[in-house]
């Protein structure tokens, strides 16, 4: 079909016109014919069955019946309120039809004693069934209409409903559209792919998604359209990755040199796990090729990502390059600085840190040493992105907790060199594979999926507030063994007053239960000055206080191996990934650690699922899968990256098998024919070219 027709503005469709056109644009984003075709129903009502009046049950579900109206009257049912009542009969009984508004219009449209089909919800009053505001259609019209047995229900808004654009209206417009376009849609897949996957044609899929004749026809249409959507997204992402590997040259780090070998053989603080060895090998092979590395390193809290990043940096230095590490907060940057300085102390490497609070004199030295190449590793926050920060030759940039940095910030680091540095992105937020394939399909992914030896899994329990006395006794026993405790309160931006109050109330009651001089308590919250935060944190990490009462500021990157208990107050107010991150603050030493989730008795179904998941598993990936099911993909990644996920028909969680299938086919096709040059791939290439022009993948696919 000539794509031109699909570009027609929507108001030209019969039955739309300017004012409806404006509503469809504003409320549903439907600007032209092509948008309406790809406006898919979100559920269906089964109208394959016609009931008899004597078969009706009081279930409140929608039913349709064939019969006729034999009588219409107006009945007063409250002071000055009238309703219109029609008696509908079939050969098995009678039913009342009620209208509470629009009497004049309804009365004029009803035909007496003519066979018709009614559809709606039945309710029982006494022994008589009645139906309010039914849909009514003459049987002769009903048999002629395109409308199918499976009735589509389209997404709508309150404004549309109020302005008289009902589901039936959208249905009618869809019929009109198919009549005008004659459903001549261009095929978007090569014939061998259609045969291999037993897909129905594009034309049949679009027809059956809007007018399915049966559940079987509908499921074939859904499969075809979901596969198409996910396949083309993967095709784009994989191509992006391939183009980058061919086009964007990287620095080839050809040698594994003295620093790397010296550290590996003589200074490793502990044995590397097999997962760490595997990941280092993947990174080495990336950086040794001529292409720029772009790798996402996923590993649970405490899985040893830092040492992998450090050894990657040594590779860069051995090859005559500099490295940098960017972290989202000063606390984290400082922690990396301390950790890496310890690892590097015997190697004679120059490491410095640059954050917002670095003094001018120190900055000056950093800028000079960066430019003359004597500074090997620079660690910092966003401060690294400033134009003044110039490297002599940056070979590797490591970015920690990627989801806190937008894509633009990443590219700023690239521009520090003529040849972009290799990029290693680290995250402790496990991203389910399905989501990673969609969000980071253009990055290569490495996973550290085992914890260092000697780490005991953290024991997690859920306790209600009524068990608090027992929990406090347990804390006293742990402190008597010389351990330290975190007690965390939720932080919800909108009500900082309330959070602060919760925290202070908590702090006061804990101070009463754990009095001086026997016990000593630290406190940490967002309103404190950075210097005060640091000194409280220092007291705790040096073991001068037993308990740290805090808001979630401790969520990222605080390392106190002696802290063995994490208490999370009002745990129902936290998301799963946050609970998992907080739990990762303990279990860093050799002792058994515990995480206690405190909640009230009133829990929503989702909160119950979150508590059960935390108690049953320590596996971040399993937790991320549950989180994805509960929250949906957009929320999980934060808005700046959810753009990829404005899917029209597929669902990344429910359709993950189709996603994997789409990815495998995209990989296979691009492996054999990277530029889509084979004659049989001409259709894919045409679609792909359209796709790259437009943000929204569906506008062009028809």
- For 306-356, what is each residue's pLDDT tens digit? 999 999 999 999 999 999 999 888 878 888 998 899 999 889 999 999 998
Instruction: Band the pLDDT of 414: cuts 50, 70, 90.
Output: low
**Whole-number Å distance between alpha carbons of 247 and 268:** 37
pLDDT above 90 for 556: no
Residue 642: its pLDDT value, please? 36
Question: Count of CB atoms within 10 A of residue 675's CB?
Answer: 10
Q: What pLDDT band is residue 499 in, cutting at 50, 70 and 90?
A: low
Q: What are phi and psi of 587, to 5 degrees?
A: 80, 25
CA angle, corner 202, sides to 201 and 206, nearest 5?
120
User: Using CA of residue 610, residue 616, residue 620, residue 622, what is the dihedral sign?
Assistant: negative
As a three-state string, the secondary structure of 262-317 is HHHHHHCCCCCCHHHHHHHHHHHHHHHCCECCEEEEEECCCCCHHHHHHHHHHHHH
- Mean pLDDT for the chain? 87
- Residue 559 pLDDT more than 50? yes
Q: Are 458 and 295 in contact (CB under 8 A)?
A: no
Domains of the chain: 48-147 (2.40.50.140), 209-247+650-701 (no CATH), 258-288+303-427 (3.40.50.300), 459-617 (3.40.50.300)
| Phi, psi angle pair for 250, to nearest 5° | -115, 175
Residue 547 near residue 523, CB atoms below 8 Å: no
460, containing H or E segment: strand 459-464
pLDDT at 409: 67
Q: Are 357 and 530 in contact (CB under 8 A)?
A: yes
Report how far apart the first and last C-alpha atoms of the chain are (Å, whole number): 8
Neighbours of 432 (CB within 10 A): 23
**What DSSP state is assigned to residue 197?**
T
- pTM for this one? 0.64
Q: Which residue has the higher pLDDT, 215 or 305?
A: 305
The stretch 210-229 carries a mean pLDDT of 91
Arithmetic mean of pLDDT, 144-164: 81
According to the model, what pLDDT value does residue 328 have? 84
CA dist 331 and 558 (Å) reads: 8
- Compute and round to an integer the Cα radius of gyration of the chain: 32
The answer to whether 649 touches 206, Cβ cutoff 8 Å, is no
Question: 192 falls in which pLDDT band (50, 70, 90)?
Answer: very high
Which pair of tokens denotes residue 83? 């309703």
Q: Looking at residue 700, what is its pLDDT?
A: 42
Burial zone of 80 (CB within 10 Å; 0-12 exposed, 13-18 middle, 19+ buried) = exposed
Q: Locate 297 and state its tokens.
A: 């390193």
For 599-621, b where at least 16 C-beta lie within 10 A, e where not — what string? beeebeeebebbbebbeeebebb
The tokens describing 552, both together, are 């979630």
> CA–CA separation, 360 vs 67, rounded Å?
88
| CB-count exposure of residue 369 (10 Å: 0-12, 13-18, 19+) | middle
Torsion of CA 386, 389, 395, 401, to 10 degrees: -40
**Structure-block tokens of residue 153:** 């229900």
Instruction: Give pLDDT, residue 406.
Output: 58
Q: Is residue 652 pLDDT above 70, yes or no?
A: yes
pLDDT for residue 609:
94
> What pLDDT sits at residue 4?
77
Which residues lie below 8 Å from residue 104, measured CB to CB, with a gap of 6+?
Answer: none
Q: What pLDDT digit, counting tens, does each position of 600-613 carry? A: 999 998 999 999 99
- Name which of 216, 146, 154, 215 is nearest 182 in CA terms: 146
Residue 643 has pLDDT above 50, yes or no: no
pLDDT band at 436 (very low <50, low <70, confident <90, very high): confident
Residue 539's beta-bridge partner residues? none
Query: Cα–Cα distance between 371 and 387 in angstroms, integer?
Result: 13
Of 198-207, 281-290, 687-696, least confident by mean pLDDT is 687-696
Per-residue confidence at 171, pLDDT binned at 50, 70, 90?
very high
Position 295 pLDDT exceeds 50: yes
Provide the pLDDT for residue 274: 94
Residue 505: pLDDT over 60? yes
CA dist list (Å): 511 to 4, 48, 504, 625: 73, 68, 10, 39
Answer yes or no: is pLDDT of 249 > 70: yes
Are 376 and 310 within 8 A, CB to CB?
Answer: no
What's residue 699's pLDDT? Answer: 45
Of residues 348, 337, 276, 266, the one with CA closest to residue 307: 276
**Whether the predicted pLDDT of 149 surpasses 90:** no
Cα gap 17→83, rounded to integer Å: 33
Query: pLDDT for 1-39, tens place per residue?
Result: 446 788 999 999 999 999 999 999 999 999 999 999 999
**Mean per-residue pLDDT for 668-683?**
94
pLDDT at 322: 96
Task: Tell me what pLDDT residue 394 has.
Answer: 93
pLDDT digits (tens, 9 = 90+) for 72-124: 999 988 888 899 999 999 999 999 999 988 888 899 989 999 999 999 988 88
Q: Using the predicted structure, report yes or no on whether residue 420 has a pLDDT greater than 50.
A: yes
């Amino acid at each position: 079909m000539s794509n031109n027709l699909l570009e027609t503005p929507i108001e030209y469709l019969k039955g739309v016109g300017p004012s409806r056109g404006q509503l469809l644009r504003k409320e549903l984003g439907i600007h032209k014919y092509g948008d309406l075709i790809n406006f898919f129903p979100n559920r269906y009502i089964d109208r394959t069955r016609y009931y008899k009046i004597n078969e009706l049950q009081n279930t409140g579900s929608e039913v349709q019946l064939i019969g006729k109206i034999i009588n219409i009257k107006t009945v007063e049912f409250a002071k000055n309120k009238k309703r219109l009542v029609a008696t509908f009969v079939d050969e098995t009984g009678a039913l009342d039809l009620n209208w509470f508004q629009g009497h004049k219009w309804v009365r004029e449209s009803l035909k007496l004693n003519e066979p018709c089909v009614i559809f709606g919800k039945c309710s029982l009053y006494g022994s008589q069934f009645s139906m309010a505001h039914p849909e009514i259609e003459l049987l002769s019209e009903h048999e002629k209409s395109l409308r199918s047995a499976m009735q589509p229900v389209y997404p709508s808004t309150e404004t549309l409903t109020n302005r008289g654009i009902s589901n039936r209206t959208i249905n009618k417009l869809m019929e009109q559209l198919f009549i005008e376009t004659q459903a001549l849609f261009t095929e978007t897949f090569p014939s061998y792919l259609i045969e291999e996957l037993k897909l129905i044609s594009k034309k049949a899929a679009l027809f059956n998604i809007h007018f399915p004749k049966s559940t079987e026809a509908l499921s074939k249409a859904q499969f075809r359209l979901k596969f198409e959507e996910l396949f083309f997204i993967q095709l784009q992402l994989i191509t992006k990755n391939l183009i980058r590997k061919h086009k964007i040259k990287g620095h080839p780090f050809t040698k594994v040199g003295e620093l790397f070998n010296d550290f590996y053989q003589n200074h490793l603080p502990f044995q590397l796990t097999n997962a760490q060895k595997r990941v280092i090998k993947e990174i080495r092979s990336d950086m040794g090729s001529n292409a720029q590395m772009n790798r996402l390193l996923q590993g649970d809290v405490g899985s040893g990502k830092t040492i992998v990043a450090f050894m990657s940096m040594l590779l860069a230095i051995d090859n005559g390059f500099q490295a940098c590490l960017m972290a989202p907060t000063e606390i984290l940057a400082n922690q990396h600085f301390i950790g890496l300085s310890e690892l590097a102390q015997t190697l004679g490497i120059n490491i410095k840190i640059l954050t917002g609070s670095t003094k001018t004199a120190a900055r000056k030295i950093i800028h000079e040493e960066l430019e003359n190449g004597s500074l090997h590793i620079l660690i910092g926050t966003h401060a690294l992105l400033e134009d003044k920060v110039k490297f002599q030759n940056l070979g590797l940039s490591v970015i920690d907790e990627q989801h806190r940095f937008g894509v633009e910030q990443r590219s700023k680091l690239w521009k520090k060199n003529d040849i972009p540095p290799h990029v290693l992105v680290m995250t402790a937020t496990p991203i389910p594979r399905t989501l990673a394939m969609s969000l980071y399909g253009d990055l290569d992914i490495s996973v550290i999926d085992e914890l260092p030896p000697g780490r005991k899994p953290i024991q997690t329990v859920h306790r209600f507030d009524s068990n608090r006395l027992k929990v406090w006794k347990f804390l006293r026993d742990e402190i008597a063994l010389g351990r330290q405790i975190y007690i965390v309160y939720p932080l919800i931006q909108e009500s900082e007053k309330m959070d602060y109050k919760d925290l202070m109330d908590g702090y006061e009651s804990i101070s009463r239960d754990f009095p001086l001089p026997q016990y000593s308590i630290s406190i940490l919250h967002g309103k404190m000055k950075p210097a005060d935060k640091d000194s409280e944190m220092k007291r705790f990490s040096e073991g001068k206080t037993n308990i740290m009462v805090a808001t979630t500021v401790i969520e990222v990157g605080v390392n106190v191996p002696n802290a063995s208990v994490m208490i999370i107050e009002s745990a129902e107010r936290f998301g799963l990934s946050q609970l998992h991150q907080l739990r990762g603050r303990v279990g860093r030493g050799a002792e058994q650690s515990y995480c206690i989730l405190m909640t009230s008795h009133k829990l929503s179904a989702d909160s119950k699922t979150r508590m059960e998941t935390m108690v049953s598993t320590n596996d971040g990936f399993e937790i991320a899968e549950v989180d994805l099911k509960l929250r949906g993909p957009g929320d999980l990644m934060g808005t700046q990256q959810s753009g990829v996920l404005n899917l029209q028909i597929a669902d990344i969680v429910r359709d993950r098998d189709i996603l994997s299938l789409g990815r495998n086919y995209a990989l296979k096709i691009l492996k054999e024919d990277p530029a889509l040059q084979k004659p049989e791939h001409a259709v894919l290439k045409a679609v792909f070219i359209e796709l790259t022009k437009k943000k929204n993948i569906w506008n062009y696919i028809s």
